[in-house]
Amino acid sequence: MRIQKKITGFLVLLIFFFSFAGSLVPSAQAAEAKKTYTIGTDTTFAPFEFQDVNGDFVGIDIDLIKAIAADQGFEIKIQSLGFNAAVQALQSGNVDGVIAGMSITDERKKVFDFSEPYFDAGPMMGVAADNHTIQSYEDLRGQRVAVKAGTEGATFAESIRTKYDFSIVTFDDSAQLVDEVKAGGSVALFEDYPVLAYGITQGNGIKTVTPKEKGGSYGFAVNKGQNPELLKMFNQGLEKLKSNGQYDEIVAKYLGSADAASGANIDSEAGAPKDSRLALIWQSMPAFLKGLGNTLWYTVVSLFFAFILGLIFGSMKVSHNKVLRAIATVFVDLFRGIPLLILAFFIYFAIPQAIGFKIDPWLASILTLSLNAGAYVTEIIRGGIQSIDKGQMEAARSLGVPYGTAMRKIILPQAIKVMVPSFINQMVITLKDTSILSIIGLVELAQSGKLVIARTYQTFDVYLTIAIMYLIVITILTKIADRLERRVSRG
């Protein structure tokens, strides 16, 4: 009975925590009442949205929405997401609007309300700078091309795929298209021409060989029938910026050259000189360190709650009560069986859309990591307890020692020695799992690297630095944990 009372106490504590976390939701609603809107964007889509060397979000879209907000008297909170994640966040209600180089299409108009067009775009084909065999679409026959999901480039490539008999591979980031072509996985890429032109001017090793195709226009989107006042203010602000010349200044800031603005062919020789590797790493180190700090913070917080969950459900799994064992088994099977990425999508996108409330990415990330790690910690605790000879518990009970006291004083101290190596392993796994949650906007170490790559296109240097940082941190944590394990074993 005493152990069941403790389990009940733990459950009450957990419910209190999640209730407290849920109390953050009304604060978002209060912010809306003060005309503060959360805007989702894709911050790996230069020159429309990306992160500069100081870690600030910049680009045509970012500067535009900030200028409109200042003109119309409302405030914005920029939420960094991939394009697909931003659209899903809008549908689930976690953001109020999306500005991410989003093409206005008839299909999207069925789901979203769009502003007046703020930029006329169009797709364009790019090839590696040293490729002299691909000169036209005809040369794509039997080859593979790369596209970014949700872009006009992807739509155009699909429209001519059958005619020119080539295959398509899809990526989530513009920088990945460049890496795919330079690595030889695909012979060409299709991308919106301003993005392609900007990358070439940054020296990304790509050139264009065909003219820009006729395309659609970008628009600011809100959910259909929702936030009409935000859409109205965007249109009014856009019209004012165009009339006073501020709009032209913003566009020229990022697409100042005639070639980039018109979509004319641009050779890689037009690219800007690159910083040295050491200079790039030094400039990016503040962003990397901030991302590393976030990684460690989310790991520690998530493992704290994972341990609480593991202690609760691990105790339930070794209980003599069949109902408690069944509940614990369902918990473990559920959250150990669902892939971490799917669990993150379900918590951040699906549940808010179904129930109708907002959840911040940091809270969704902690819930995802805690539930996933908690299922594994449950099994670690169960295995540790059951590894101790049953005779010790029986002997303690025969001497009149209460079950809870026997568990706390006799069984657990021995079980902990068995559990420590598995706890260390789970800590390392959870730390690395934080990188997956960049898909819902968590800016940790891996995402910090992606943001730098979107600006510089220096994939090798950035990912090498990120890998070394992960290796150093995990090695240090492992050595500390190994020493702790030896001390526990001697104790």
Residue 394: per-residue pLDDT: 75
- The pTM (predicted TM-score) of the whole model is 0.71
User: In this structure, what are the phi and psi dihedrals at residue 268, rounded to the nearest 5 degrees?
Assistant: -65, -20
Indicate where the chain has its CATH 1.10.3720.10 domain(s): 277-490
Residue 488: per-residue pLDDT: 64
CATH level 2 (architecture), domain 123-208: 3-Layer(aba) Sandwich (3.40)
Residue 318: per-residue pLDDT: 83
* pLDDT tens digits in sequence order for the chain, 491 residues long: 444 444 445 444 444 444 444 444 444 444 445 589 999 998 788 889 888 877 788 999 999 999 999 999 999 999 888 788 889 899 988 999 999 989 898 889 999 999 999 998 889 999 999 999 999 999 999 999 999 887 888 989 999 999 999 999 998 888 889 999 999 999 999 998 888 888 888 888 899 999 888 888 899 999 999 999 999 999 999 999 999 999 999 998 888 654 444 444 444 444 445 556 788 788 888 888 988 999 999 999 999 999 999 989 988 888 888 899 999 999 999 999 999 999 999 999 888 888 877 888 889 999 999 999 999 999 998 888 888 777 777 787 777 788 777 777 777 777 777 787 788 888 889 999 998 888 887 888 888 888 888 777 788 888 999 999 999 998 988 888 778 777 766 65
Indicate where the chain has its CATH 3.40.190.10 domain(s): 30-120+217-259, 123-208
User: pLDDT tens digit string along 189-203?
Assistant: 999 888 888 888 888
Residue 23: per-residue pLDDT: 46
30-120+217-259: CATH topology: D-Maltodextrin-Binding Protein; domain 2 (3.40.190)
Beta bridge pairs of residue 57: 51
**Residue 452 burial (C-beta neighbours within 10 Å; 0-12, 13-18, 19+):** buried
3-state SS of the chain is CHHHHHHHHHHHHHHHHHHHHHCHHHHHHHHHHCCEEEEEEECCECCCEEECCCCCEECHHHHHHHHHHHHHCCEEEEEEECHHHHHHHHHHCCCCEECCCCECCHHHHCCEEECCCCEECCEEEEEECCCCCCCCHHHHCCCEEEEECCCHHHHHHHHHHHHHCCEEEEECCHHHHHHHHHCCCCCEEEEEHHHHHHHHHCCCCEEECCCCCCCCEECCEEECCCCHHHHHHHHHHHHHHHHHCHHHHHHHHHCCCHHHHHCCCCCHHHCCCCCCHHHHHHHHHHHHHHHHHHHHHHHHHHHHHHHHHHHHHHHHHCCCCHHHHHHHHHHHHHHHHCCHHHHHHHHHHHHHHHHCCCCCHHHHHHHHHHHHHHHHHHHHHHHHHHCCCHHHHHHHHHCCCCHHHHHHHHHHHHHHHHHHHHHHHHHHHHHHHHHHHHHHCCCCHHHHHHHHHHHHCCHHHHHHHHHHHHHHHHHHHHHHHHHHHHHHHHC
The alpha carbon of 334 is separated from its chain's Cα centroid by a whole number of angstroms, namely: 23
Q: Among 1.10.357.10, 1.10.3720.10, 2.40.160.20, 1.10.510.10, name the CATH number for the domain at 277-490.
A: 1.10.3720.10
User: pLDDT tens digit string along 231-287?
Assistant: 999 999 999 999 999 999 999 888 865 444 444 444 444 444 555 678 878 888 888
